[in-house]
């Protein structure tokens, strides 16, 4: 869980340089240079725009250019958020997961991992790969074979980068104390999505 109080606060408006302002339109929904971002994560990243810009470009590529099915990306991301107890990742990705076809039952099953019967055989491989990355630092041969039965090498690489990048974000969000935006948890509950502490 994120530390409290935050160790890195949102960058105040009087410190928004031109480099910082270039970051705000990069997220979806985009902010604007003159009003900032609606996302606390971006306002924390804004302390280092030279780091943040290429990271956000990579994030854009995941959503726009990756060939890996969005459903598999979201399953892996939510499992990372669950394992690392990061409510920021979790709450944002129950929304994007729903756009990829996941349901509240899937979100509750994330906590039970690949053993839950809700998952297809291939989705179990995605969950196992995510867990093995975090426990063994590599994907085990049987899981790799299961992934390779459906994915080409390019998409397996994308899955590895999705898992690794969201682990890194969870570490950073937890350590810096990035807070979920006001009203976001209430919106998730209103739509029937379980919060992290409810799974």
Q: What is the pLDDT along the chain (199 residues), one digit of tens a residue?
A: 777 889 999 999 999 999 999 998 887 665 556 667 889 999 999 999 999 999 999 988 888 889 999 999 999 999 999 999 999 999 999 999 999 999 999 999 999 999 999 999 999 999 999 999 989 999 999 999 999 999 999 999 999 999 999 999 999 999 999 999 989 899 999 999 999 999 9
Which residue in 29, 26, 22 sits closest to 50, CA to CA?
22
| Radius of gyration from C-alpha coordinates of the chain | 17
pTM over 0.95: no
Per the CB < 8 A criterion, the answer to whether 77 and 86 are in contact is: no
Question: Cα–Cα distance between 49 and 43 in angstroms, integer?
Answer: 10
Residue 183 backbone class (left: φ over 0; alpha: ψ -120 to 50; beta: rest): left
Half-sphere exposure of 138 (CA within 13 A, CB side): 3
Residues 94 and 143 in one domain: yes
Question: Cα–Cα distance between 105 and 87 in angstroms, integer?
Answer: 18
| Nearby residues of 179 by Cβ (< 8 Å), 6 or more positions away | 2, 6, 40, 88
7 occurs within a structural domain: no
Residues 78 and 173 in one domain: yes
Residues 49 and 111 in one domain: no
Residues 83 and 171 in one domain: yes
Residues 74 and 169 in one domain: yes
Residues 23 and 108 in one domain: no
CA quadruple 15, 52, 100, 82: dihedral sign: negative
Residues 57 and 92 in one domain: no
* CATH assignment of the domain containing 89: 1.20.1290.10
181 occurs within a structural domain: yes
Residues 82 and 160 in one domain: yes
Residues 35 and 123 in one domain: no
Residues 51 and 83 in one domain: no
Q: How many domains does the chain have?
A: 2
In which domain, by residue range, is 45 found? Answer: 13-64
Question: Cα–Cα distance between 198 and 125 in angstroms, integer?
Answer: 25
């Amino acid at each position: 869980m994120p530390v409290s109080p935050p160790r890195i606060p949102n960058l105040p408006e009087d410190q928004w340089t031109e480099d910082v302002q270039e970051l705000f339109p990069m997220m979806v929904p985009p902010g604007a240079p003159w009003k900032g971002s609606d996302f606390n994560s971006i306002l924390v990243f804004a302390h280092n725009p030279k780091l943040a810009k290429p990271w956000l470009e990579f994030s854009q590529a995941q959503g726009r250019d990756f060939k890996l099915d969005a459903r598999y990306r979201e399953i892996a991301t939510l499992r990372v958020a669950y394992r690392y107890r990061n409510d920021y990742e979790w709450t944002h990705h129950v929304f994007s997961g729903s756009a990829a076809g996941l349901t509240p039952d899937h979100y509750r099953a994330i906590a039970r991992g690949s053993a839950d019967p809700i998952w297809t055989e291939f989705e179990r491989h995605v969950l196992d790969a995510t867990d093995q990355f975090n426990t063994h630092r590599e994907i085990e041969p049987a899981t790799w074979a299961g992934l390779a039965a459906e994915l080409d090498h390019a998409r397996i690489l994308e899955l590895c980068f999705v898992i690794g990048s969201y682990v890194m974000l969870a570490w950073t969000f937890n350590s810096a104390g990035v807070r979920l935006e006001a009203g976001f948890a209430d919106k998730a509950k209103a739509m029937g999505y379980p919060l992290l502490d409810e799974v």
